[in-house]
């Protein structure tokens, strides 16, 4: 019965998964993020994709359009409300951030340059993800660099591979199999995702490989759909939306006309204007009223310096800029909590400050 209740809740009330892109410098993380933002979206009308603070939000309808061609064959029933992709690919400090005991991102894309294989930072990211139990897919990027690759713009990767000459395919297979071997040397079993067997999918340590080109877009649909599938099938428990506030400070920034602001990633729960929020600083906790909750305007073209949309209330998962007094010394990477009607302020302060110890432990062990 309990299981059935759980299942019923999942259908209606998943929050969107938080995705982070990692990997060695120059593997194509930034280009891949750009490409994900633009695939199948007409230039200049990026409907259903909104810029948030520190993240890009993809509506469910956008995910469906972006993966439509691939999904003709996959027929995956997407129930996620959307997806939140963090905007700072490879940003170490971000990947270090945790939100009260759990890693902030739900699922990751680890980008490997197919021409170079596994490089140092990729290996480090790989072990970080493994240690945290964060599921990830490996993008074997720059597949278009294979000898005489024939461009198949934004196509599902299997269709694109069918268009290639035998020599190109041979190079692709040999490079992909090198990457697989190198992953194995790091203790990671992997396979090209469509060659994975049912057992491999069941095995949570097994990693799917997706060939991509961040320039011409082959395989980008595949990455998106795979992330959705992993999130929906394997992570639904952790994605069940819950009213308890789970939020982490990404950055503290001075903004003209607004003073000191704090960029916050709200994973779960609500933040409201007027809430008494508790933040962590090196000098102790501060309690301050939230005076504003801001997100950038929906369209980039409209962006005029410091023009933001003001919200009375926001719901996770979402990136938001918080205005309040006394935020100067707030520490990135710590939690934000709100004092509720039944809470003792001292308890909340203690809970927020416990993050500092965890963060310091974390920094000294990483
Ligand atoms: P990052 O450091 O991982 O963010 O890498 P960038 O996205 O800045 O890309 C590094 C370089 O590789 C740039 O010159 C890109 O144009 C190039 N690049 C990235 N992805 C691809 C790809 O899929 N194919 C090709 N041919 N070049 C790529």
Instruction: Report pLDDT for 27.
Output: 95
Atom of ligand 1 nearest to the CA of 213: 23
3-class secondary-structure state, position 9: helix
The residue whose CA is least distant from atom 27 of ligand 1 is: 142
Distance 220 CA to ligand 1 centre (A): 14
Tens-of-pLDDT digits for all 366 residues of the chain? 455 555 445 456 789 999 999 999 999 999 999 898 876 554 444 567 777 888 888 889 889 988 999 999 999 999 898 999 987 766 655 655 655 555 678 999 999 999 999 999 899 889 988 888 899 999 999 999 999 999 999 999 999 999 999 999 999 999 999 999 999 999 999 999 999 999 999 898 899 999 999 999 999 999 999 999 999 988 888 888 788 899 988 889 898 888 899 999 999 899 999 999 999 998 999 999 999 999 887 655 444 555 788 999 999 889 999 999 999 999 888 889 999 999 999 999 999 898 777 767 766 665
Q: 175, 214, 217, 223: which to mutate for ligand 1, most atoms within 8 A of CB?
A: 214
pLDDT at 94: 60
Nearest atom in ligand 1 to the alpha carbon of residue 216 is 23
Nearest CA to ligand 1 atom 15: 28
Which residues are within 8 A (CB) of 79 and not within 5 positions of it... i.e. 6 or more apart?
11, 14, 232
The whole-number pLDDT of residue 336 equals 93
Please, are residues 185 and 114 in contact by the beta-carbon 8 Å criterion? no
Runs of H (alpha helix) within 13-150: 29-38, 60-66, 68-74, 92-96, 120-132
So what's the pLDDT on residue 311? 95
Confidence at residue 305, expressed as pLDDT on a 0 to 100 scale? 55
| Rounded Cα gap, residues 222 and 163, in angstroms | 17
Residue environment code for 220-249, b if the CB has 16+ CB neighbours within 10 A, otherwise e: bbbbbbbbbbbbbebbbeebebeeebbbbb
Query: Residues near ligand 1 with C-beta < 6 Å?
Result: 25-31, 89, 141-142, 144-145, 213-215
DSSP 117: B
Query: CA triplet 187, 234, 180: central angle to 5 degrees?
Result: 25
Cα–Cα dist 19/265, whole Å? 12
pLDDT of residue 133: 87
pLDDT given for residue 236 in this prediction: 86
Q: Which atom of ligand 1 is nearest the CA belonging to 25?
A: 2
Q: Three-class SS of residue 13?
A: coil
The protein residue whose alpha carbon is closest to atom 10 in ligand 1 is 26
Strand order in the sheet with 276-281: 284-289, 276-281, 335-338, 246-255, 259-268, 318-323, 292-295, 309-310
Q: Are 291 and 340 in contact (CB under 8 A)?
A: no
pLDDT score, position 241: 79
CA of 119 to the centre of ligand 1 (A): 15
Atom of ligand 1 nearest to the CA of 31: 7
How much distance in Å is there from the Cα of 117 to the middle of ligand 1? 14
Q: Is-cis flag, bond preceding 317, omega within 30?
A: yes
User: For residue 171, how far is its CA from the centre of ligand 1 (angstroms)?
Assistant: 20
How far is Cα 295 from Cα 302, in angstroms, rounded to an integer? 13
| C-alpha–C-alpha distance, residues 1 and 9, integer Å | 12
The rounded Å distance from CA 201 to ligand 1 centre is 29
Neighbour count for residue 151 (Cβ, 10 Å): 14
Give the ipTM: 0.99
Q: Round to whole Å and give the CA distance between 161 and 210.
A: 12
Q: How confident is the model at residue 51, as a pLDDT?
A: 76
pLDDT score recorded for residue 187: 95
- For residue 82, report the distance from its CA to the centre of ligand 1, in Å: 26
């Amino acid at each position: 019965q309990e299981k059935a209740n759980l299942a019923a809740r999942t259908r209606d009330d998943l929050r969107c998964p938080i995705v982070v892109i990692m990997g060695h410098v120059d593997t194509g993380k930034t280009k891949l993020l750009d490409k994900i933002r633009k695939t199948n979206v007409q230039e200049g009308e990026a409907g259903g994709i909104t810029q948030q603070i520190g993240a890009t939000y993809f509506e469910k309808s956008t995910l469906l359009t972006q993966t439509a061609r691939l999904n003709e064959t996959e027929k995956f029933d997407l129930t996620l409300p959307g997806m939140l992709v963090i905007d700072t690919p490879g940003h170490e400090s971000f990947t270090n951030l945790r939100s009260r005991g759990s890693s902030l991102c739900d699922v990751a894309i680890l980008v490997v340059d197919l021409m170079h294989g596994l490089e140092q930072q990729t290996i480090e990211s790989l072990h970080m993800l493994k240690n945290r139990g964060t599921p990830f897919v490996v993008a074997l990027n720059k597949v278009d660099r294979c000898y005489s690759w024939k461009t198949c713009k934004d196509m599902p990767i299997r269709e694109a591979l069918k268009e290639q000459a035998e020599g190109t395919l041979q190079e692709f297979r040999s490079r992909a199999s090198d990457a697989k071997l190198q992953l194995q040397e790091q203790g990671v079993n992997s396979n090209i995702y469509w060659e994975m067997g049912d057992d491999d999918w069941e095995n949570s340590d097994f990693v799917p490989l997706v060939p991509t080109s961040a320039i011409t877009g082959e395989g980008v649909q595949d990455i998106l759909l795979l992330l959705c599938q992993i999130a929906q099938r394997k992570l639904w428990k952790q994605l069940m939306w819950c009213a308890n506030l789970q939020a982490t400070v990404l950055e503290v920034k001075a903004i003209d006309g607004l003073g000191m602001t704090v960029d916050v990633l709200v994973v779960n729960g609500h933040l409201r204007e007027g809430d008494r929020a508790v933040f962590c600083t090196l000098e102790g906790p501060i309690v301050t009223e939230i005076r504003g909750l801001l997100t950038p305007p929906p369209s980039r073209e409209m962006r005029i310096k410091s023009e933001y949309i003001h919200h009375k209330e926001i719901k996770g998962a979402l990136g938001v800029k918080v205005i309040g007094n006394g935020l100067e010394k707030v520490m990135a990477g710590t939690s934000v909590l709100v004092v509720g009607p039944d809470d003792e302020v001292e308890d909340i302060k203690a809970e927020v400050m416990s993050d500092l110890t965890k963060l310091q432990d974390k920094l000294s062990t990483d």
